[in-house]
A and B are shown apart, each in its own frame.
Chain A
């Protein structure tokens, strides 16, 4: 399924660039989000979209003096939807990665957060000792390497659940290739299988993991938080390749919102910690 989507995205991107868009003043922008990834973006019981990215999108649109429409789109197919022109931008907790950059461009990033492992409360994985609480793949120190080795050893023969087509999956493939990986369509499905004991651990954004812990209980985070490298430089606004004017508009608005502390305030409100980009 991932392959199907990827192939469609690639094909669609080719066709879309072939038909280059005419000049647009971007006074109207359509933004897609997933609507099922709290606290980034979620849907409330009244059926309305809400979350950090919904607030941020409104703020950015005000800064860009654009009229925005926010539409919900399933995660599967969110990139083909952009390249085929169903909407102009994606704000859906999507990390900026080289793989995605081959198909779309990114403005930002506007936020970042470490990704973490979690396991059931009685799992032996929670008893592991790590020398560091943060691993930055861009510059791995001796201590961080030690932490990675401990993890690789402890997870040998175990199964880790990740959301499909995410940076989390890339991290498992690149840095922990000997660990069995089970992919899921969404974080809830991973949590379900973790709680039922079908998998031993899950790897997800710390905010999504916290949200699982809060609502389901029985799960705890273990090991360091991971950033950099395969995880990407943060979460950005996805736009079509070639829509440079739109990308620059978003970039300027994100810069302003970062500098005046708007993003720091919004992420603290939604995540419980400041996830804005630091210099």
Chain B
């Protein structure tokens, strides 16, 4: 710890405004939440589609979904982010050149980040949702059909509520992973929490203070969301008697 820096100077670094890094860190945390929420929601879309594809019985869809989950869960998240970040730009510019446009196209780092996080989060969610759908006893669907329910009704009244209940604990897990995965997109220089902490640590040479502050902020975000998921689980289980 720097001996020359008094405790007061030390805390001054976390001040808000132009003299301190407090506002940069908080804005970074807000960006982290934005990317995580966007990525997670997108991931739920991918996850639902993936789970339905796997359960559809169609060979083509099943193989495609298997390919998706195997690849995205099998290669490191950082690599996915690198490939998307550098790849999308390159691919777009090449396509544009074919059409005679030689200028520069930039894809927003935020969008690429949400897409990358969404793809990863979706791959994990696929398995969670697939497991949850399979946990709904098939007999209930047959019973619904026997009562004359249409497909939409079966889905809305029987499948959806129970799938959600079975999937929630797993999805809570995926959410935490997603939230922490956002730190990897700091390599794209998107000003999220990890990047802000990196910059502050590098520029002031006070790594402990800023990485510590980032850790506290991450922990705050994960704690709040854990509480949120607990509430949601309790709500989803309200009609189920606990052993």
**A188 & B94 in contact (Cβ 8 Å cutoff):** no
Q: Which B-chain residue is minimally distant from A81 (CB atoms)?
A: B86
**A77 & B89 in contact (Cβ 8 Å cutoff):** no
A146 at interface (Cβ–Cβ under 8 A)?
no
Q: Select B21's contact among A42, A45, A187, beta carbons within 8 Å.
A: A45
Instruction: Tell me the residues in window 169-198 of chain B with beta carbons closer than 8 Å to chain A beta carbons.
Output: 186-189, 191, 195, 198
Q: Which B-chain residue is minimally distant from A16 (CB atoms)?
A: B90
Q: How large is the interface on A (under 10, 10 to 19, 20 to 34, 35 or more residues)?
A: 35 or more
Known: A37-B202, A85-B93. A80 touches B2 (CB 8 A): no
Fill in one digit per residue for B102-145: 1 if any A CB lies within 8 Å of its CB, else 0: 10101000000000000000000000000000000000000000
Contacts of A38 in B (CB 8 A): 202-203, 205
Contacts of B20 in A (CB 8 A): 45
B19 at interface (Cβ–Cβ under 8 A)?
yes
What number of B residues sit within 8 Å (CB to CB) of A?
44
The segment out of A67-75, A251-259, A268-276 that lies at the interface is A67-75
**A73 & B189 in contact (Cβ 8 Å cutoff):** yes
Contacts of A16 in B (CB 8 A): 90
Fill in one digit per residue for A184-216: 1 if any B CB lies within 8 Å of its CB, else 0: 001111011000000000000000000110011
Contacts of B90 in A (CB 8 A): 12, 15-16, 84-85
**B205 & A74 in contact (Cβ 8 Å cutoff):** no
Q: Select A71's contact among B83, B189, B205, beta carbons within 8 Å.
A: B189
**A45 & B202 in contact (Cβ 8 Å cutoff):** no
**B187 & A4 in contact (Cβ 8 Å cutoff):** no
Q: Which A-chain residue is minimally distant from B88 (CB atoms)?
A: A84
Known: A8-B86, A37-B202, A191-B205. A45 touches B2 (CB 8 A): no
**A217 & B4 in contact (Cβ 8 Å cutoff):** yes
A124 at interface (Cβ–Cβ under 8 A)?
no
**B199 & A35 in contact (Cβ 8 Å cutoff):** yes
B61 at interface (Cβ–Cβ under 8 A)?
no
Fill in one digit per residue for A84-100: 1 if any B CB lies within 8 Å of its CB, else 0: 11100000000000000
**B187 & A74 in contact (Cβ 8 Å cutoff):** yes
Q: How far is the CB of B169 from chain A (nearest CB, A)?
A: 33
Instruction: Tell me the residues in window 24-71 of chain B with beta carbons closer than 8 Å to chain A beta carbons.
Output: 24
Q: Which B-chain residue is minimally distant from A88 (CB atoms)?
A: B104
Q: Which A-chain residue is minimally distant from B12 (CB atoms)?
A: A45
Given the complex of chains A and B, what is the CA–CA distance between A42 and B90 in angstroms?
28
Q: How far is the CB of B11 from chain A (nearest CB, A)?
A: 13
Sample (28) of A-B pairs whose CB atoms are under 8 Å apart: A1-B78, A4-B82, A15-B90, A19-B93, A19-B97, A22-B102, A35-B199, A35-B203, A37-B202, A38-B205, A42-B202, A43-B202, A46-B18, A72-B199, A73-B189, A74-B187, A74-B189, A74-B195, A76-B187, A77-B85, A77-B86, A80-B82, A84-B86, A85-B89, A86-B106, A189-B207, A215-B5, A215-B205
- Give residues in B with beta carbon < 8 Å to A: 2-5, 13, 15, 17-21, 23-24, 78-79, 82-83, 85-86, 89-90, 93-94, 97, 102, 104, 106, 186-189, 191, 195, 198-208
- Give residues in A with beta carbon < 8 Å to B: 1, 4-5, 8, 12, 15-16, 19, 21-22, 24, 30, 35-38, 42-47, 71-74, 76-77, 80-81, 84-86, 186-189, 191-192, 211-212, 215-218
Closest 9 CB pairs of A and B: A36-B202, A22-B102, A46-B18, A215-B205, A42-B203, A43-B199, A84-B90, A43-B203, A73-B189
Task: List 12 extra interface pairs beyond A43-B203, A187-B202, CB under 8 A.
Answer: A8-B86, A12-B90, A15-B94, A30-B104, A38-B205, A43-B202, A47-B24, A74-B189, A188-B201, A191-B205, A215-B205, A217-B3
